[in-house]
Amino acid sequence: MTFVSLHGQSLYSRQQPLDRVLQNPMDIDDDGILKRTLYGSLRPDELSLEQSDRMVAAAQRRVERVEERMKEIQPLIDAGVLARNEINAFHEELAYRKKTLELAESRQHFLKELSEMARAEAIPEIQDESSGEKPAQERFDGNGQFGQTALKRVVLAYERQFGKAMPISANGETAFHRALGYNHSGRVDIALSPDTPEGVWLRQFLEKDQIPYYAFRSAIAGKASAPHIHVGPPSTRLRVAD
């Protein structure tokens, strides 16, 4: 049922301008993409780069739809067809969607850094002995053993030492390692540069406990910088069925 006001406008039309965006099937589909990727149950490191690209694109489109609709109704507001306060709901929705876009872009940036870490681990160690510079990659084999008990010991020691959580960027297998053909289960990546005070302390602790690790000062072979410490033995190749 439609109720008409004295001005000939539907009484529920005050909600119609924004509802036109919210009820758009494409907007609903994009909202579904964000619920699966940005707000879903998947850990950040379980998303692929392709999924993160779709996530950011969906968030961007949702921002643009509100902006476009605001441009459409502004002449109606200026002409007095719609009340000026009609725009308030749009400003609130736009602010929410822009925050969502920022979060999606931040998540995408993290995933790209994680991808570079995974790629760095897949590249053999190369060291120029004639150079006085520190190698891009260092390796400590220790006793070759690493598990959950050792990880808990390292995490608790780090928290006692620095009073903050250890920045674990990948715990076990990730989409990026799988895409590169590597099994990262039972390994942990720590987002610390090896030469920072935290990184130096961590490497010393691992060596004292004979825990194997790789220390990366950057991604190798000219890739984007992604310093980190891989704790555990080297990742093994995944077996691919013929």
pLDDT digits (tens, 9 = 90+) for 196-211: 999 999 999 999 999 9
Residue at 88: amino acid letter: N
Looking up tokens 């459409």 gives 72
Residue at 26: amino acid letter: M
Residue at 167: amino acid letter: P
* Per-residue tokens: 167: 């920045």
User: Do 73 and 151 fall into the same domain?
Assistant: no
User: Do 148 and 114 fall into the same domain?
Assistant: no
User: Do 15 and 107 fall into the same domain?
Assistant: yes
Segments in the chain below pLDDT 50:
1-14, 126-131, 221-225, 240-242
User: Do 113 and 162 fall into the same domain?
Assistant: no
The count of structural domains within the chain is 2
pLDDT computed for residue 129 by the predictor: 45
Q: Which of 206, 42, 61, 236 is nearest to 138 (CA)?
A: 206
User: Do 114 and 159 fall into the same domain?
Assistant: no
User: Do 18 and 44 fall into the same domain?
Assistant: yes
Residue 67 lies in a domain: yes
Residue 217 lies in a domain: yes
Give the angle subtended at the CA of 166 by the CAs of 53 and 123, to the nearest 5°. Answer: 55
Residue 6 lies in a domain: no
> 230: left (phi > 0), else alpha (psi -120 to 50), else beta?
beta
Residue 242 lies in a domain: no
User: Do 108 and 207 fall into the same domain?
Assistant: no
122, 155, 179: which is the final residue of a domain? 122
98, 122, 146: which is the final residue of a domain? 122
User: Cα–Cα distance between 103 and 185 in angstroms, integer?
Assistant: 28
The residue length of the chain stands at: 242
User: Do 146 and 67 fall into the same domain?
Assistant: no
Looking up tokens 């160690």 gives 125
Residue 2 lies in a domain: no
Residue 200 lies in a domain: yes
Asked if 228 and 117 count as a contact pair (C-beta separation under 8 A), the reply is yes
Grouping H, G, I as helix, E, B as strand and the rest as coil, residue 171 is strand
Residue 3 lies in a domain: no
User: Do 87 and 160 fall into the same domain?
Assistant: no
Residue 146 lies in a domain: yes
* Per-residue tokens: 171: 């715990």
Looking up tokens 């903050």 gives 164
pLDDT computed for residue 14 by the predictor: 43
User: Do 116 and 153 fall into the same domain?
Assistant: no
99, 122, 145: which is the final residue of a domain? 122
Give the angle subtended at the CA of 226 by the CAs of 130 and 217, to the nearest 5°. Answer: 30
> Structural domain of residue 201, as residue ranges?
137-237
Query: How far is C-alpha 28 from the geometric centre of its chain's CA atoms?
Result: 23
Q: Which of 117, 111, 70, 75 is nearest to 91 (CA)?
A: 70
User: Do 71 and 118 fall into the same domain?
Assistant: yes
Is residue 170 within a helix (H) or strand (E), and if so which, with residue range? strand 168-171
